[in-house]
Structure 1
Amino acid sequence: MSEGRSSTPVQDTGYDGRRRWRALSVGLIAAFMTLLDVSIVNVAVPSIDRALQATPSDLQWVLSGYALTFGLVLVPAGRFGDARGRRTAFVVGVGLFTLTSALAGLARSPEWLVVARLVQGAAAGVVNPQVSGMIQELFRGADRGRAFGLLGATIGISTAVGPLLGGLLIQLGGAEHGWRWVFFVNIPVGIVAMLLGWRLMPTRPTNPAGRGRLDPLGVLLLGAGVTVILLPLVQREQWRGPGKWLLIPAGLLLLAGFALWEHRYARRAQPLFDLRLFTVRSYTLGALIGLIYFAGFTAIFFIFTLYLQMGLGYSALVAGLAITPFALGSALASALGGRVVTRYGRPLVAIGLLAVVAGLVATDLVLAGGPHENVPLRTALPLLVAGLGSGLVIAPNQTLTLSEVPVPMAGSGAGMLQTGQRIGSAAGIAAVGALFFSTLAADRGDWSTAFRHSLLLAAGIVVLALGAAVADIALGHRRSAGRS
């Protein structure tokens, strides 16, 4: 049953319409801040390199270490919020994120900065599943679609606008110290989010049965599996030779051990992640779509920033501005997608994926025969189309994926969904980045060809996500026909 924006309480949570939207606003601010730090640091790498004399390995860990620890704690943090209440986890996570942002901005050595980024990523992983879980807890029906639409817009915009905001801060702060403001900007936002979060976030656990034990062996197996899979992806440039890829099947074995343990543990207590969620078609295929889409989606900004700054000599600010059409399109379509997803379902996601593919292919076509002048202007329209498509993917897919997840499992379910997205992002950047650099080496520094080839690979990855969406639609039609 849909609920309006009036003061009608949501079941027995004690939250009227106004208070739950205020709580959501605080959660979205914190989510934006943590997700922004996935991409904002990309444009600061040259300044960090000059200021701290960092090695390529140091810089890789500054960028990828954040994503690694982010993905590592999502599911345990979501389970903790389900079992103990979201307010404590949210406030502690935001507080730790704010502190480590200050420490990162004050870094005097590469090692200092890497450690700060690792802890900062873990703090971000604590915060984000509380926001998704809170939406599951406080919103129902069409309002839940709107809330997830806003969260999807936050995810898409924060990823796309990161390079622009980073370039602007570096421009204002100067080449020597501008990179520090990329981290310092989080401090006032984090303090406000902590204070408001303590006042507005839900305090009661949604799964009191899980208070006793938090499944430490499950946490260890899941963490080890995710780490072993992500390590060769985030260290692909530093670890030479094919041996590193053996870690991926080793990680998959650890995750298989995690699944077996969770199945056994569920017989006597509440597991870290209830595997029965994977029997829900909307959750399983939605999580798969998210994993594959983020592999293509995130890689686009990585290679485009390299192409513009290192290949064509544009400033960090101009490189950020070039990505703005995608961000604007994503924002507009996310707001629309969140409102209509309950009406159109997974076909809306398929339309969005098709638009993303069309926009990326069009971007490749306008750069054919390069190099060209005014690349940011040439790519503005096709990137706007891709952004509009992306807005119809992220928010609606998140809504549909979590729509049938029981509220007591909301935090861990959302955490597993985001863990898949983090793994997809790392895998996509590794694959697309490898093609980019190998083409660059083979063609003796032809940046335009390297970008176009890798862009088409990213588009191909999005096509795979489209295939998963079409499969979900077909299975849904088959089930409907069987009932009639």
Structure 2
Amino acid sequence: MISSAGDASSSRHWPSSCSPHSLCGLAQTPTALVVSRALQGLAAGSMSAQTFAIISGLFPKRAHPRVFGIYGATIGLATICGPLVGGLLIQWDLFGWGWRLIFFVNLPLGLAALVLGYFYLVDAKPDGVRQLDVGGAALSAVGLFLLIFPLAEGRERGWPTSIVVMLLCSVPVLFAFVVHEWRLGRRGGDPVLRLELFTDRAFSLGAAIAFVFFGTLTSLIFTISLTLQFGFGFSPLRAGMMTLPWALGTGLAALASAAVYRRIGNLVLPSGMVLFAGSLVVLAAQLQHEGTDPRWSALAGPLFIGGAGLGLFVAPVQTAILATVRPQNAGSVSGLLPTVQQVGSSIGLAVIGVVFFNLVATQSADAVQAERPALTARLAEVGVPPALIPRAEETFVRCASEQLGSTSPMKVPDECRSPASGGAPLGAAQQQIADSAVVAARESTRSAAGEAFLQAERRILWIIAAVAAAIGVASLTLPRRNQPVDDGSVAAA
């Protein structure tokens, strides 16, 4: 919950945000990379609050729809174009740095932002100095870790007792956090989370909608990326290119969202969700029709429309949340909104991730059996003796089923990485046939994986479409027009 504490610092004090990128790029061990990523998360959390503080402090609320439209377009493009840029960097492998370039590329961008921010940003903190609520920040961090870590790791680890205990312990810790914040607020202190904010119906409903929305959006991006790369075997670059229409639709619609709001008010929110949900249903149908090697042109339409739905929703929902917030609470809300988004994303990713991999495992049996005739043809084509084909098929079914039904369906089981050895050495011709049989089995495993991932992703699209429809219905209960409270903003858009 470092985001909620981040608004206690100045919007111009960001230098520490660049160093974690260097540490990630220089990491020599997995442990060092994990620690560096944690530091990167702390830096990102402290920065994310500043964005909302700047918008709240520098722009009057009547300008928020336009400003958040620009902000939403930026966030949408950054979120969806990230895989494309990452794929390009990995494929180019400049200087032989491989994946490290993904982190190093942030250094010049961060330094440029620091220089521009120093000269052009005004310190947008509200009047008065906020005191850091160390106890609240610690309780929230521990409680969220105890909640999110088991959800993310439980399935892969087989839900051991320790994981279950962690999950159960999150309840009293988070309850203690709420009690601590309530008591601190009653004493006139400066809590991380101002509970009185949730007495405002528009704010609490908007925050809940944002929580669910960002959870579904992040998990959708995650499952689509896995399906394209590990299921269909696309390169990171091709996977990024497939989602480019999504980014374009998001950016254009976010820029237009302020104009749409002026015409229909907060009905822009359910309108965006209708487009988003409908596009996911169409996308699921297109994937079924296209199979495991879909054409870019076949998916571009529903992806663009889905992106447009996102763009019409992201900016207006944040405007609706901030509309009734009083100036003295702007700092607290500036930290709370990024926290709501990040926690929602983490929990949504953990939950949908479990559902997705369970669906892959469920679909794997039919996918493997459906691939047996193709494997038989491949084995006969490479010269495997007919008497040995049934044994090769059984090995394929066992290994493919074990891989796709495991907690890590992208990883080949160790015992299936190479053909069993033993007996007399093979001659050159026999060895060539054996090697060709292994290649045929791997191709069939890839095909079965593609089908299992395809069917799992189609079901995830239906689930998220249903959630999006529910979000659209919930957003109908927000006021038709935002009624901003008077603020003393220093600038107009």
TM-score normalised per structure 2: 0.75
Residue type of the alignment partner of 1:456 = W
CA distance in 2, matches of 1:165, 1:171: 10
Q: Tell whether 2:462 aligns with 1:456.
A: yes
The offset of 1:463, in angstroms, is: 2.5
Q: Equivalent residue for 2:278? A: 358
For residue 331 of structure 2, the aligned residue among 411, 417, 425 is: 411
Residue 318 of structure 1 aligns to a residue whose secondary structure is helix
Cα deviation, 1:54-98, whole Å, max 9, x if unaligned, reads xxxxxxxxxxxxxxxxxx3110112x13xxx3323xx2xxx2231
CA, structure 1 residues 160+216, in 2 after alignment: closer, same or farther (shift >3 Å)?
same
Q: Tell whether 2:211 aligns with 1:288.
A: no
Q: CA RMSD in A?
A: 2.4
Aligned residues of 2:72 and 2:315 also touching (Cα < 8 A) = yes
Q: Tell whether 2:190 aligns with 1:265.
A: no
Superposition pairs of residues 302-321 of structure 1, within 5 angstroms: 302-321=222-241
Aligned residues of 1:435 and 1:453 also touching (Cα < 8 A) = no
CA, structure 1 residues 374+107, in 2 after alignment: closer, same or farther (shift >3 Å)?
same
CA, structure 1 residues 207+228, in 2 after alignment: closer, same or farther (shift >3 Å)?
farther
Q: Equivalent residue for 1:344? A: 264
Aligned residues of 1:367 and 1:452 also touching (Cα < 8 A) = yes
Residue 86 of structure 1 aligns to a residue whose secondary structure is coil
Q: Equivalent residue for 1:129? A: 49
Residue 135 of structure 1 aligns to a residue whose secondary structure is helix
CA, structure 1 residues 154+242, in 2 after alignment: closer, same or farther (shift >3 Å)?
farther
Q: Which has the higher contact order (CA 8 A, sep 6+)?
A: 2
CA distance in 1, matches of 2:102, 2:132: 35
CA distance in 2, matches of 1:87, 1:283: 28
Q: Equivalent residue for 1:481? A: none
Superposition pairs of residues 90-239 of structure 1, within 5 angstroms: 91=14, 95-173=15-93, 177-203=97-123, 205-208=125-128, 210-211=129-130, 213-239=131-157
CA, structure 1 residues 393+129, in 2 after alignment: closer, same or farther (shift >3 Å)?
same
Aligned residues of 1:299 and 1:458 also touching (Cα < 8 A) = no
CA distance in 2, matches of 1:295, 1:127: 20
For residue 174 of structure 2, the aligned residue among 239, 245, 255 is: 255
CA distance in 1, matches of 2:164, 2:263: 43
Aligned residues of 1:370 and 1:448 also touching (Cα < 8 A) = no
Aligned residues of 2:267 and 2:480 also touching (Cα < 8 A) = no
Aligned residues of 1:97 and 1:124 also touching (Cα < 8 A) = yes
Report runs of 4+ in structure 1 exceeding 6 Å deviation: 474-477
The offset of 1:314, in angstroms, is: 1.3
The offset of 1:311, in angstroms, is: 1.4
The offset of 1:350, in angstroms, is: 1.0
CA, structure 1 residues 219+434, in 2 after alignment: closer, same or farther (shift >3 Å)?
closer
Residue 396 of structure 1 aligns to a residue whose secondary structure is helix
Q: Equivalent residue for 1:471? A: 477
Cα deviation, 1:347-382, whole Å, max 9, x if unaligned, reads 111110111100111100112255253343321110
The offset of 1:328, in angstroms, is: 0.5
CA distance in 1, matches of 2:218, 2:37: 19
CA, structure 1 residues 345+276, in 2 after alignment: closer, same or farther (shift >3 Å)?
farther
The offset of 1:221, in angstroms, is: 1.9
How many aligned residue pairs are there?
395
Larger radius of gyration: 2
The offset of 1:303, in angstroms, is: 1.2
Cα deviation, 1:182-229, whole Å, max 9, x if unaligned, reads 111100111111122222333364141x44x32222222222222222
CA, structure 1 residues 185+278, in 2 after alignment: closer, same or farther (shift >3 Å)?
same
Residue type of the alignment partner of 1:300 = L
The offset of 1:268, in angstroms, is: 2.6
Residue type of the alignment partner of 2:158 = R
CA distance in 2, matches of 1:299, 1:110: 24
Residue type of the alignment partner of 1:117 = R
Structure 2: segments with no counterpart, 5+ residues? 365-448, 484-493
Q: Equivalent residue for 1:9? A: none
Aligned residues of 2:283 and 2:303 also touching (Cα < 8 A) = yes
Q: Equivalent residue for 2:391? A: none
TM-score normalised per structure 1: 0.76
Residue 472 of structure 1 aligns to a residue whose secondary structure is coil
Superposition pairs of residues 313-462 of structure 1, within 5 angstroms: 313-341=233-261, 344-369=264-289, 371-444=291-364, 445=449, 446-462=452-468
Aligned residues of 2:253 and 2:309 also touching (Cα < 8 A) = yes
CA distance in 1, matches of 2:22, 2:329: 34
The offset of 1:441, in angstroms, is: 1.7
CA, structure 1 residues 388+404, in 2 after alignment: closer, same or farther (shift >3 Å)?
same
Identity rate, percent: 33
Q: Tell whether 2:12 aligns with 1:87.
A: yes
Residue type of the alignment partner of 1:443 = Q
The offset of 1:474, in angstroms, is: 8.3
CA, structure 1 residues 96+443, in 2 after alignment: closer, same or farther (shift >3 Å)?
same
Cα deviation, 1:247-291, whole Å, max 9, x if unaligned, reads 445334333322222222123323222211111222111111111
Which range moved further: 108-117 or 131-140?
108-117
